[in-house]
Amino acid sequence: MGDLRSHCYELKLADDEVRALDFVGNRYAWAPPLLECCHENVVRFTECEMWEWADAVNDEGGTFPLASPKFAVKLHEFMNSLI
């Protein structure tokens, strides 16, 4: 019957962005949650997961080290979509 959790936040990733997540790996807290919740190049977070991810990003200074400038902007926009 599939996952019944409500996914409020969705981020579509290009292939090169998924490869960037793989490259970053566990070096920074921003990447692993995205990788764990990425299926077919789409990240889906519940509201709780989104808050946890945003807190982890903010704990590390609110930046996305090793992400391209374009990808970092996309990630900031995703994080700023948090209600």
| Block residue for tokens 């509201």 | 47
Residue 21: is it exposed, middle or buried by C-beta count within 10 angstroms (0-12/13-18/19+)?
buried
The 10s digit of each residue's pLDDT in 47-71 is 999 999 999 999 999 999 999 999 9
Q: Which residues lie below 8 Å from residue 44, measured CB to CB, with a gap of 6+? A: 7, 9, 10, 37
pTM: 0.88
**Whether residue 4 has pLDDT greater than 50:** no
Q: Which two tokens stand for residue 25?
A: 């790996």
